[in-house]
Chains A and B, each alone.
Chain A
Amino acid sequence: MTAANQPAELLELLKRQNPVQLILAIPHSESRDAINVAATQIRAALAKFAGKPRTVILYSDTLNGSPGEESPPSVDDVDLQTVPFPLAPVTASRFEALWPVLQLSQALSVQACCLWTRSPESLTAVRADSLLRPVLEQQFDLVVPRYNRRRFESLINSAVVYPLTRALYGQRIRFPMAHDLALSANLTRRLAEPNHKTGQPLRRDWITTYAACQGLRIAEAALDLYLPPADSSDLSKVLAGVLDPLMSDVEQNALHWQRTRDSQATPVFGNSSVPAEEPLSTDVIKMIETFQLGFRNLLDVWKLVLPPATLLELKKLAALPADKFQMQDDLWARTVYDFTLAYRLRLMSSDHLLRSMTPLYLAWVAAYALEVQGVNARDVELRLERLCVSFESQKPYFLSRWRWPDRFNP
């Protein structure tokens, strides 16, 4: 179909046609051909669904090219259309990319909407099925991907994000920060509701935690995909960039997570392959040295955040030789909780606080690397499971410190 230049015009155009059941947004694409390939795969996946939902695929309107340039042949039919749309790149903010899609979905009263931030070629029929079927046919409100993970990938997620969100929100969502999402009409409506005072949308960068707090049904889709490695040349900046919104989210949702108890397993749809064999040698000396340097130089900063008992354990850890370097899970869990509390209490600039956590994080990575370098993939997952159990067992400690920060300071 021809491009509608404004979202309002597109909305009017779509309203005049048959009702749309599914909107799928693909912000990143190199070419229209790639969009057409994705559309073909999606059509093949949706053909197996009961009712064959009418689908609109939104792609970035910057792909339209210059006037006079030849466009590839359209793959549209009565059940599936590809439409150019002003989509923000997801690198800016996931919510800013999702917001116009939510508005359009809400206006068209669709059954589900989906955001696919990876390349269109990676959206195969099998992956589309795993992502969309739970929302369209099994009454789940949110489906997030479960990526494949090699033992030394997604370390911030494994060290902090997953254990913390699991312990606090009670949902075992392996990748809570995932950008590829499928949302039900119910969740779309809730997210699209503006603040009744300001009339502006409530910015929610953590849709998984929002859904967990609202008691909505969440599933995971095993997509047999690996996350692309992000630029970690400045690790402290990356760490602060991830933890800042996470801790802000924890602060905002305090009323909800203080009531949750144990965590629940999340249903997983689809299949993924076992990670390829990985080289087993690791060099953690530099990470341990950074931690030791941090302990000598940042102690005055850490004293503002960490209680004396934790500082004492870190002192013992800093004195360990590299071959015996081992960080207890409880120690790491309490450290993360203390930094989360310090974030809430505004003990210092949040940027300083989170960047000063870098040596402690590297200590955890070094200890983890030494433990998992000689084990198989299943044992790696068991190792992370033990870490998550520690976070859950230390939640009462966090609750006490959160409620009485001055009185409870072990």
Chain B
Amino acid sequence: MWYQVQQALQDSSNRIITGLANLLPGFVALVVAVIVSGLLAWIAGLILRRFLRRIDFDGKLVRASGAGLADLSPAGSPTVLVVRLTRWAIAFVGLLIGVAAFDATLTSRLAGQFFAYLPSLVIAALLLLVGNAAARYVSREVLIGAVNMNIQYARLLGAGVKWLILVFSAAMALNHVGIGGQIVGVAFAILFGGITLALALAVGLGAQNFVSRTLEKNRDDQNARMEVPFHHS
């Protein structure tokens, strides 16, 4: 009987070791593909960055199309955006090559699922882009307006509005791609409500002085001497 146990163990070990040995070349190929594509991506990024800086890509793009793209880019530089996108694209291609070496059918199955998922990804990316642009524009609008109204919490108001829009657009994007499910909805509600409450408190507390000054001014105007009005136009 012990001989049969020994035989069973030997057979199962042989099967597992043979399976691992079959997988190993593909795995090594995957690792090599990822490392090589990573190196290539780094080199390509370096060359591309130098080239774009030499031709003043940032300045020309801003002059041609306004500051919108610069605002959306990391560090306010479209060059950095292009370089990062290129690097990630090369690395992704390397990953696909590695996966294909690992399992030939896996890539075709992955590709099928990926292309089915692609429209949702694109729309989610668009939502994030539009949300980001809207957040920057509206926060600047609120910041400038609040400063001109002499509201001390101007920066807080601007930041609050920006994060409101960013959280809203991120929640919409995640919901669209089906990530997180109900957790995203609940988290969004908590965040959004929290930011709105903070803003309401900031406006309420900040406007206290404004309201009392307005009331005092209405009372004082009746019997105070005339102050010099400034006519700006």
A residues contacting B by CB (< 8 A) are 152-157, 227, 229-230, 232, 235-236, 238-239, 242, 278-283, 286, 289-290, 293-294, 296-298, 301, 304, 345-349, 352, 355-356, 358-359, 365, 369, 406
Please name all residues of chain B whose beta carbon is closer than 8 Å to the beta carbon of A304 when the two chains form the complex: 67
Q: How many residues of B contact A (CB 8 A)?
A: 28
A355-B148, A369-B228 known, 17 other contacts, Cβ within 8 Å? A152-B231, A235-B232, A236-B144, A279-B228, A283-B228, A290-B147, A294-B147, A297-B143, A297-B146, A297-B158, A298-B143, A301-B140, A301-B143, A301-B144, A346-B63, A356-B144, A359-B147
Cβ–Cβ contact B143 & A242, under 8 A: no
Nearest residue (CB) in B for A284 is: B230
Question: When chains A and B are docked, how far (Å) is the Cα of A206 from the Cα of B67?
Answer: 27
Please name all residues of chain B whose beta carbon is closer than 8 Å to the beta carbon of A345 when the two chains form the complex: 62-63
Q: Does B150 contact A (CB under 8 A)?
A: yes
Cβ–Cβ contact B150 & A286, under 8 A: yes
B residues contacting A by CB (< 8 A) are 56, 59, 62-63, 66-67, 137, 140-141, 143-148, 150, 152, 154-155, 158, 226-233
Cβ–Cβ contact B226 & A279, under 8 A: yes
Cβ–Cβ contact A352 & B147, under 8 A: no
* Nearest CB of A to B36, in Å: 38
Given B56, B154, B226, B231, which contacts A153 in the complex, CB threshold below 8 Å?
Answer: B231
Pick 9 A–B contacts, CB within 8 A, sort by A. A279-B228, A283-B227, A290-B147, A293-B152, A297-B155, A348-B67, A349-B137, A352-B140, A356-B144
Please name all residues of chain A whose beta carbon is closer than 8 Å to the beta carbon of B67 when the two chains form the complex: 304, 346-348
Question: When chains A and B are docked, how far (Å) is the Cα of A405 from the Cα of B189?
Answer: 46
Nearest residue (CB) in A for B70 is: A347
When A283-B227, A406-B56, A406-B59 are in contact, do A157 and B233 touch as well, CB less than 8 Å? yes
Cβ–Cβ contact A355 & B145, under 8 A: yes
When A297-B147, A347-B67 are in contact, do A232 and B62 touch as well, CB less than 8 Å? no
Nearest residue (CB) in A for B151 is: A293
How many pairs, one residue from A and one from B, have CB atoms within 8 Å of each other in the complex?
100
Please name all residues of chain A whose beta carbon is closer than 8 Å to the beta carbon of B230 when the two chains form the complex: 152, 155, 232, 365, 369
Cβ–Cβ contact B144 & A235, under 8 A: no
Please name all residues of chain B whose beta carbon is closer than 8 Å to the beta carbon of A154 when the two chains form the complex: 231, 233
Given B137, B143, B226, B232, which contacts A232 in the complex, CB threshold below 8 Å?
Answer: B232
Please name all residues of chain A whose beta carbon is closer than 8 Å to the beta carbon of B146 when the two chains form the complex: 297
Please name all residues of chain A whose beta carbon is closer than 8 Å to the beta carbon of B145 when the two chains form the complex: 236, 355
Please name all residues of chain B whose beta carbon is closer than 8 Å to the beta carbon of A293 when the two chains form the complex: 147, 150, 152, 154
Cβ–Cβ contact B148 & A346, under 8 A: no
Question: When chains A and B are docked, how far (Å) is the Cα of A155 from the Cα of B226?
Answer: 19
Question: When chains A and B are docked, how far (Å) is the Cα of A346 from the Cα of B158?
Answer: 22
Please name all residues of chain B whose beta carbon is closer than 8 Å to the beta carbon of A239 when the two chains form the complex: 232
Nearest residue (CB) in B for A238 is: B233
When A279-B226, A281-B228, A352-B140 are in contact, do A290 and B148 touch as well, CB less than 8 Å? yes
Please name all residues of chain B whose beta carbon is closer than 8 Å to the beta carbon of A152 when the two chains form the complex: 228-231
Question: When chains A and B are docked, how far (Å) is the Cα of A288 from the Cα of B232?
Answer: 16
Nearest residue (CB) in A for B66 is: A346
Question: When chains A and B are docked, how far (Å) is the Cα of A355 from the Cα of B146?
Answer: 11
Question: When chains A and B are docked, how far (Å) is the Cα of A345 from the Cα of B70?
Answer: 13
Question: When chains A and B are docked, how far (Å) is the Cα of A356 from the Cα of B233?
Answer: 18
Please name all residues of chain B whose beta carbon is closer than 8 Å to the beta carbon of A289 when the two chains form the complex: 150
* Nearest CB of A to B136, in Å: 10
Please name all residues of chain B whose beta carbon is closer than 8 Å to the beta carbon of A290 when the two chains form the complex: 147-148, 150
* Nearest CB of B to A315, in Å: 16
Please name all residues of chain B whose beta carbon is closer than 8 Å to the beta carbon of A286 when the two chains form the complex: 150
* Nearest CB of B to A347, in Å: 5
Question: When chains A and B are docked, how far (Å) is the Cα of A290 from the Cα of B230?
Answer: 15
Question: When chains A and B are docked, how far (Å) is the Cα of A281 from the Cα of B147?
Answer: 26
Question: When chains A and B are docked, how far (Å) is the Cα of A253 from the Cα of B66?
Answer: 21
Please name all residues of chain B whose beta carbon is closer than 8 Å to the beta carbon of A155 when the two chains form the complex: 230-233
Given B147, B150, B152, which contacts A298 in the complex, CB threshold below 8 Å?
Answer: B147
Please name all residues of chain A whose beta carbon is closer than 8 Å to the beta carbon of B66 when the two chains form the complex: 346
Question: When chains A and B are docked, how far (Å) is the Cα of A281 from the Cα of B56?
Answer: 53
Please name all residues of chain A whose beta carbon is closer than 8 Å to the beta carbon of B148 when the two chains form the complex: 235-236, 290, 294, 355, 358-359
Please name all residues of chain B whose beta carbon is closer than 8 Å to the beta carbon of A298 when the two chains form the complex: 143-144, 147
Question: When chains A and B are docked, how far (Å) is the Cα of A349 from the Cα of B232?
Answer: 23
Please name all residues of chain A whose beta carbon is closer than 8 Å to the beta carbon of B141 when the two chains form the complex: 352
Cβ–Cβ contact A346 & B62, under 8 A: yes
Given A279, A346, A355, which contacts B144 in the complex, CB threshold below 8 Å?
Answer: A355
Cβ–Cβ contact B233 & A281, under 8 A: no
Please name all residues of chain A whose beta carbon is closer than 8 Å to the beta carbon of B227 when the two chains form the complex: 279, 281-283
Nearest residue (CB) in B for A298 is: B147
Please name all residues of chain A whose beta carbon is closer than 8 Å to the beta carbon of B59 when the two chains form the complex: 406
Nearest residue (CB) in A for B64 is: A346
User: What 9 A-B pairs have minimum CB-CB distances, sorted nearest first?
Assistant: A229-B231, A153-B231, A230-B233, A236-B148, A346-B66, A232-B232, A297-B154, A155-B232, A297-B155
Please name all residues of chain A whose beta carbon is closer than 8 Å to the beta carbon of B147 when the two chains form the complex: 290, 293-294, 297-298, 356, 358-359
